[in-house]
């Protein structure tokens, strides 16, 4: 993806990252409204697509390669999930099915801390 993804080559550029982040917040609100209003899946998908597009614009604005960024975040998520599985076994649980959201969040935070500075 290029720096002109969207409207950059036409002069439709965001002046700073703050405005892009505000746009992302607005897109999140629109997703929540669509879900809360039980809108059809196509509407929810469109709103999520808008959020993804905004995230891509923020990535490009920040001078980051979109594909590399996505690849790195996938690696980070996979590493955390492996750690969560290890922690689940440590708690003598076969998996997290039927477990409380509180336990899942606790394990997620613990895995995040453990994997914070570990290379893939």
Range of the domain at 110: 68-115
Under the banding of pLDDT at 50, 70 and 90, the label for residue 15 is: confident
Distance separating alpha carbons of residues 110 and 38, to the nearest angstrom: 34
Same domain, 36 and 81: no
Does residue 81 fall inside a structural domain? yes
Give 3-state DSSP helix, strand, coil % of the chain, rounded to 5.
Answer: 70, 0, 30
Same domain, 79 and 59: no
What's residue 4's pLDDT?
45
* pLDDT tens digits for range 54-96: 999 999 999 999 999 999 999 999 999 999 999 999 999 999 9
Same domain, 51 and 82: no
Distance separating alpha carbons of residues 115 and 80, to the nearest angstrom: 7
Which residue among 42, 64, 86 closes a domain? 64
Q: Which residue has the tokens 């409207």?
A: 7
Which residue among 64, 82, 105 closes a domain? 64
Distance separating alpha carbons of residues 89 and 14, to the nearest angstrom: 47
What's residue 34's pLDDT?
98
Counting the structural domains of the chain, the total is 2
Instruction: Tell me the HSE value of 32 on the side-chain side, using a 13 A CA sphere.
Output: 6
Does residue 1 fall inside a structural domain? no
Whole-number mean pLDDT of the chain? Answer: 90
What's residue 14's pLDDT?
78
Under the banding of pLDDT at 50, 70 and 90, the label for residue 9 is: low
Instruction: Report in angstroms the alpha-carbon separations of 77 from 20, 27, 73, 112.
Output: 24, 23, 6, 9
Same domain, 13 and 56: yes
Does residue 120 fall inside a structural domain? no
């Amino acid at each position: 993806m290029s720096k002109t993804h969207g409207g950059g080559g036409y002069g439709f550029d965001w002046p700073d990252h703050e405005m892009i982040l505000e746009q992302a917040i607005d897109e999140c609100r629109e997703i929540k409204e669509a879900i809360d209003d039980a809108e059809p899946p196509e509407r929810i998908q469109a709103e999520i697509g808008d959020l993804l597009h905004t995230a891509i614009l923020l990535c490009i604005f920040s001078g980051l390669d979109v594909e590399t960024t996505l690849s790195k975040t996938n690696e980070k998520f996979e590493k955390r999930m492996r750690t969560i599985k290890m922690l689940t076994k440590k708690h003598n649980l076969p998996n997290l099915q039927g477990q409380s959201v509180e336990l899942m969040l606790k394990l997620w935070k613990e895995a995040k801390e453990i994997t914070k500075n570990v290379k893939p």
